[in-house]
Structure 1
Amino acid sequence: MLRIIIADDELPIREWLNYCLKDKKISLEIVGTVADGLQAYELAVKEKPDVVILDIRMPKMDGITAMKNIQKVLPETEFVILTNYADFSYAKQAISCGAKEYILKSELRSSELIEILAKIEKDRYTQQDRQRIADQMEQARSKTLTEYSGNSIDNNKFIKMALNYIHEHFNDSISLAEVASQVYRSPEYFSRLFKEVTGENFSIYLINYRLTQAKKLLTETTLKITDISYRVGYQNPSYFSRLYKKYMGITPEDERRKNWNKAK
């Protein structure tokens, strides 16, 4: 269920938004409506909503400032910005600060708003699923560095050697056959052994390890995304971006933007 705050200094707009969201096709709860940016910030800190629908121009604190302040406390909260001003500079500023959507009030339709919220809800559940899978993979990776019960000491030794090789050469164009040769096993036998010990296919493990290293570079350095792609073993930056979106649930650009917003 999405928990939503509506913030707009125009009472008719607040009432209309509240009304149209009652006729919904998704699970949501309006946890409050407020008339200015300061109230939006205070209510968000108290209620911890999933989504805040904000007017860009409000008294006491404008929508962009309110959004930035809320993000510092609640970095996972999503924002939909409303405005009467058809000015691209407003849209650019809102999106660059992390807004999910920027909509002109004159063009807003209830069906459009519900569609936007449905997409946010879907993305959040998808991201939660990906995070759960990532956590499970991380646990599996940690276990591979120790002996597994039910597997022989020799098997664990060979897989540990393979993992060390992957971790040292992930930025190269390594293959299953190459890693298998490093531990003196045939590719077919090594593939089965790797899956048996780690619980993952070799290719999936390599992708996730590379993307984990990429995330560190995206959040801890100012390297260009193209350079990061090369550093984690992908010579095609476009392919790297598509892969990152598929497995991490977010584009490299948004990953970096999200963490920059947290640091502000």
Structure 2
Amino acid sequence: MLSMLVVDDEYLVRSGIKETINWQDYNISILGDVSDGEQGLELAMKYKPDIILTDIRMPFMDGLEFMSRIRDNGLDSSIIVLSGYEEFNYVKTAMQNGAEAYLLKPIDNQQLIETVEKVANKIREKRKSKQYLEKFKNELPVLRKQFVKDMISGDLTSWEEILDKIRFLELSIEFSNNLVIVIRLDEYDTLLKLQNPAEFKRFKEELQKCINDNLLQNSDYCGIAAEESDAVWVVLLHIAKNDDKEVENVRKCCKEIIDTLSRNFRQQISIGISRVYDDLGKLSLAYKEAYAALDYKIIPGNSSVGYFGDRELIGYRREIKDAIKYIKDNFNKDISVETASRELYISPSYLMFLFRKELNKTFNECLTDYRIYKAKELMKNTRYKIYEISESVGYDDEKYFSQVFKKVTGMSPSEYIRSFSRG
């Protein structure tokens, strides 16, 4: 039911409006009636009526000033003006102050009812539209997420339907030069058992911020991101053109996401990038490529960025690939950058330079990451003792191994092992 305030200095007019019409039949309630604009403004500010019937000529504050004060105070009440004057200037000024209608006295009840009903219907329609827009706004993230899922699953292939949804959901997506990026939180099940929920929530918020800052709000790109699950995020990204330089820039942006997160969190993440496609209908294929590229790691145990075009780790120097092979073959021995450089016939300083340039890590960091990765694999078989695992991955000192393990993973070896027995 809508509320209505009557403001008129003539008692008989106010009484006639209230008493001769059963406003309940029209879903209108009279919340009050007053004789001048000052009292009217006070009641309007207090009760915020949906409709105001106001006279023009009144003592203390006339109807025109009253209407102006109503708008100055931010009230959006619909105003119907009552007047005995059919002067153009009055009508014009009333309409400029937002009056919905202008009725001449003496007032005809039927005309008044029709005018109030017309204004009331406009209010109801406006509210329905507002409620719909608010509901749509609240549901928009869910609808956009579903659009991403439909695209990458191949359920949405009709060009007409794709275009309709892009317009309807107000998406920043172009029709060519698109790729898919998949971001995966590795070892999610283990982290879920051990990590503080508030810390995990903070990580997800920071990851979303990194995606926005480095990809979606980057002036070179446009696209949309959706959380596929608690452990996987998918980005549909449009780039300027399909060439190696553009893809390399996307890879750099993804590396920046990893670097930013690694400064505050220990979680290991993998990022996979698909090839570039000129057909939106092929994004399901691009998604599969990006997912496959998640595991294009030059060395397991590291956060990584993989591009589907790099199946053979194209883009890494031969010395780096040889050094990584050396780590994988000898991680359980007493090795260092010096022993590796002798094996590869290059200087230690040059090898250290290449690791920092190509991987943004030192040789020792990569060695440690791989040792911890292999230790985790052994821990999944709980028949091994911690000291046995320590020795198997190149650490003679169990205590030192435990310190390194906790520094890298954020949990002790015992906590990590217990996480599997909870499953």
Q: What is the TM-score normalised by the length of structure 2?
A: 0.36
How far apart are residue 51 of structure 1 and its match?
A: 0.9
1:1-264 mapped onto 2 (5 Å cutoff):
1-22=1-22, 25-106=25-106, 108-143=107-142, 145-146=144-145, 151=150, 153=152, 162=166, 163-165=171-173, 183-185=279-281
- Residue 138 of structure 1, CA deviation: 2.5
Give the Cα separation in 2 of the matches to 1:77 and 1:182: 52
The one-character-per-residue Cα deviations of 1:190-242 (angstroms, maximum 9, x if unpaired) are xxxxxxxxxxxxxxxxxxxxxxxxxxxxxxxxxxxxxxxxxxxxxxxxxxxxx
Q: Using the alignment, how far apart are the partners of 1:132 and 1:34 within structure 2?
A: 32
Ranked by relative contact order (alpha carbons within 8 Å, sequence separation 6 or more), the top structure is 1
- What secondary structure, in the 3-state scheme, does the structure 1 residue paired with 2:123 have? helix
State the alpha-carbon separation in 2 of the partners of residues 12 and 69 from structure 1. Answer: 26
- Secondary structure in 2 aligned to 1:49? coil
CA RMSD of aligned residues (A): 3.4
Question: Larger % of helix: which?
Answer: 1
CA distance in 2, matches of 1:32, 1:47: 10
* Other structure's SS at 2:9 match: coil
AA aligned opposite 2:43: L
The amino acid that maps onto 2:15 is E
Following the alignment from structure 1 to structure 2, what is the Cα–Cα distance between the partners of residues 22 and 109? 15
Cα distance change of structure 1 residues 78 and 26 upon mapping to structure 2, 3 Å threshold: same
* Percent identity for Structure 1 against Structure 2: 27
Are the aligned partners of 1:80 and 1:102 in contact in 2 as well (CA < 8 Å)? Answer: yes
Contact 1:82–1:104 at 8 Å: present in 2 too?
yes
Q: Which runs of 5+ in 2 are unaligned?
A: 175-220, 222-276, 283-423
Comparing 52-61 with 127-136, greater Cα deviation is found at: 127-136
Which structure has the bigger radius of gyration? 2
Cα distance in 2, alignment partners of residues 58 and 182 from structure 1: 70
Cα distance in 2 for partners of 1:116, 1:105 equals 14
Q: In 1, Cα distance between the equivalents of 2:278 and 2:139? A: 22
**1:79-122 C-alpha deviation (Å, 9 max, x unpaired):** 1111111101101111121101111113x211111111111222
1:185 to 1:112, Cα distance in 2 relative to 1, 3 A: same
More strand by share: 2
- Which whole-Å CA distance do the structure 2 matches of 1:117 and 1:182 have between them? 57
Alignment length, in residue pairs? 173
Q: For residues 87 and 11 of structure 1, what CA distance do their matches in structure 2 show?
A: 23
- Residues 1:89 and 1:156: Cα distance change in structure 2 (over 3 Å): farther
Farther off after superposition, 91-100 or 65-74: 65-74
How far apart are residue 20 of structure 1 and its match? 2.5
1:16 shift after superposition = 1.2
Q: CA deviation at 1:75?
A: 2.9
